Chain A
Amino acid sequence: MDRRRFLAGTAATATVVVLPLAPAAATPDAMAEAIRKVVGSATLTEGRVNLDVPPLVENGSTVPLIVSVDSPMTAADYVKAIHVFNEKNPQPNVFSARLGPGNGKAIVGTRIKLGDSQRIIAIAETSDGRFWSAGADVIVTLAACLEEST
């Protein structure tokens, strides 16, 4: 995957005019900025959130992911939102989900794209205005025989 990116990078610098600007890849800074937009100046506490994602993935195009938050999900104490971010895709956001007491369980599952081995961060916003987080590192591999030579 790194080699493919490197080759794409050199190709981009060699043919300046024809190709559009390569999209700015998300960096840990871009992810931090995206998180700041959601959390603001509030404190981010690690805990209560569980990120269930395979540590080694056979293909980054479809990675199953389950975010679960430890919460009674009652009208008095529930998870308002779950946000997931990544640090190396072209843009740092993965998804934002809105929840409420009507969910009964704060568990959201989906499948995401990961362009490279990287860290993902899930942030839960609870009804008392607090923010909780968990992170996971995922190694992304690729099968040997693909459509194009890498």
Chain B
Amino acid sequence: MSNILVNAPKTASRGAVIEIKALILHPMETGFRPGANGRIIPRNIIERFTATWNGTEIFAMDMSSAIAANPFVSFFAVANESGTVVLRWTGDEGFAVEERVAIAVE
């Protein structure tokens, strides 16, 4: 369970270039910070973000420790056909979550 906020238009004209923004709750612990006891807190980050439109990959981002906590991503996509955009985040400690948004293209 992770809180996610996605900003994508519900409808789009065919061929229009739309912006998709996604924000997810995640500590993005860098693996470089010492904790209160002086020991380094183990790394816990999202390593990969992907977006597919009706199954075809339209965007992918490999993230590092240099991405801020509660990562925000924005990218653009051409609205070719109605369907579902699936956003996936995977990372350390078996983190794997998905969010789906439906976009109607006319």
The answer to whether A and B touch directly, with their CB atoms under 8 angstroms apart, is yes
A-side residues, CB < 8 A to B, are: 18-20, 23, 61-63, 66, 86, 89-91, 93-105, 107-114
With most chain A CB atoms within 10 A of its CB, the pick from B57, B72, B74, B76 is B76
Check A97/B32 contact, CB under 8 A, given A107-B76, A110-B67: no
Number of interface residues of B (CB under 8 A): 32
Check A103/B78 contact, CB under 8 A, given A95-B61, A113-B30: yes
Q: Does B71 reach chain A (CB closer than 8 Å)? A: yes
Known contacts A98-B57, A98-B59, A102-B80, then 13 further A-B pairs from the complex at CB < 8 Å, ordered by chain A residue: A19-B34, A19-B38, A62-B69, A93-B64, A97-B59, A97-B61, A99-B75, A102-B53, A102-B78, A107-B74, A108-B61, A110-B71, A113-B66
Q: Would you give the 0/1 interface string for B32-63, flagging 1 where the beta carbon is closer than 8 Å to chain A?
A: 10100011100000000000010011111111
Q: Chain A residues near B64 (CB, 8 Å)?
A: 91, 93-95
Question: How many angstroms from the CA of A95 to the CA of B66 in the assembled complex?
Answer: 8
**Which A-chain residue is minimally distant from B39 (CB atoms)?**
A20
Q: Chain B residues near A89 (CB, 8 Å)?
A: 65-66
Contact in complex: B32, A90 (CB < 8 Å): yes
Q: Chain A residues near B58 (CB, 8 Å)?
A: 100, 102-103
Which label, helix, strand, loop or mixed, suits the secondary structure of the A interface? mixed
Query: How many A-B residue contacts, CB cutoff 8 Å?
Result: 99
**Which A-chain residue is minimally distant from B74 (CB atoms)?**
A109
Q: Does B4 reach chain A (CB closer than 8 Å)? A: no
Q: Does B73 reach chain A (CB closer than 8 Å)? A: yes
Q: Chain A residues near B62 (CB, 8 Å)?
A: 95-97
Q: Does B5 reach chain A (CB closer than 8 Å)? A: no
Question: How many angstroms from the CA of A105 to the CA of B21 in the assembled complex?
Answer: 14
Question: How many angstroms from the CA of A18 to the CA of B53 in the assembled complex?
Answer: 51
